[in-house]
């Protein structure tokens, strides 16, 4: 009888944790840090986040995405932050990519079934880590070290914002790194460990996004693993 009671208690506790993870959360419900940024991952649960439970878990205080030979993903899949569709913000997240390909979606559309389209702060080996990619859209928009201006007609002009090789050589994929993504109006900036990797001024109104969901990517292909932690979102005033 004691074993039955213990089993029932454990099962009810598990359902309680799942329920807490699935509870609808608004951005304003979340705590803030000393800098006034919302803490969007509590380090313990996926509360506020929504992804395939076969792929996304919390391990070692990190949002962890894993695929295996036994549990692959046929297409790119995402863990989506459901607590809002921020427009102007500063997003910070530490990441560790163990292999293959991942990224942080922002100002993105939810296409259903954990699929997202939109801006992506990419990470995949040194060459691609730091670039701006548009998932399901215009593809590679800016490579590391580029400032891109997209005209109303979709044409791009490029300038330099840093030495690509120097930036890439400072990234050791075996270590933790911090992405900082700043979005204000049609102006986007991505940084890794404080070093600016890209800048975009997007004047193509038909294709740009001015708000949208945040998400984390697991890329289709070979088995892989990626982790994220210390995730904060600071809402900015676009007028300033």
Model pTM score: 0.89
| Residues spanned by the domain of 52 | 26-235
List CB contacts of 164: < 8 A, sequence separation 6 or more.
Answer: 143, 144, 145
CATH code: domain of residue 218: 2.60.120.560
How many domains does one find in the chain?
1
Asked, for residue 5, whether it belongs to a domain, the answer is no
Asked, for residue 19, whether it belongs to a domain, the answer is no
Asked, for residue 7, whether it belongs to a domain, the answer is no
How far is residue 186's CA from residue 208's CA, in Å, rounded to a whole number?
A: 8
Across residues 160-175, what is the average pLDDT? Answer: 93
Asked, for residue 85, whether it belongs to a domain, the answer is yes
Asked, for residue 37, whether it belongs to a domain, the answer is yes
Residue 173: band (very low, low, confident or very high) from pLDDT cuts 50, 70, 90: confident
Structure tokens at 193: 């460990």
Please state which of the ranges 5-9, 99-103, 165-169 shows the lowest mean pLDDT: 5-9
Strands 77-81 vs 62-67: parallel, antiparallel or unpaired: unpaired
Asked, for residue 110, whether it belongs to a domain, the answer is yes
Closest CA to 141 of 115, 163, 122, 165: 122
Residue 22: band (very low, low, confident or very high) from pLDDT cuts 50, 70, 90: low
């Amino acid at each position: 009888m004691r074993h039955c009671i213990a089993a029932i208690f454990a099962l009810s506790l598990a359902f309680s944790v799942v329920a807490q993870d699935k509870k609808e959360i608004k951005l304003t419900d979340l705590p803030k840090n000393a800098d006034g940024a919302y803490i969007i991952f509590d380090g313990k649960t996926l509360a506020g986040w929504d992804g395939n439970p076969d792929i996304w878990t919390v391990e070692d205080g990190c949002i962890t995405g894993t695929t295996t030979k036994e549990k692959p993903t046929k297409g790119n899949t995402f863990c989506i932050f459901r607590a809002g569709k921020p427009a102007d913000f500063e997003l910070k997240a530490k990441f560790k990519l163990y292999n293959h390909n991942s990224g942080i979606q922002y100002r993105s559309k939810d296409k259903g079934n954990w699929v997202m389209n939109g801006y992506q702060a990419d990470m995949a080996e040194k060459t691609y880590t730091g670039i701006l990619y548009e998932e399901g859209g215009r593809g590679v928009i800016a490579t590391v070290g580029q400032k891109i201006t997209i005209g109303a007609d979709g044409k791009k002009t490029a300038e330099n914002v840093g030495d690509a090789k120097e930036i890439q050589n400072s990234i050791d994929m075996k270590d933790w790194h911090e992405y900082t993504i700043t979005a204000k109006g049609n102006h986007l900036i991505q940084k890794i460990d404080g070093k600016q990797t890209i800048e975009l001024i997007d004047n193509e109104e038909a294709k740009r996004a001015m708000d949208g969901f945040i998400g984390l990517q697991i890329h289709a292909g070979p088995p892989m693993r990626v982790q994220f932690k210390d995730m904060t979102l600071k809402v900015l005033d676009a007028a300033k």
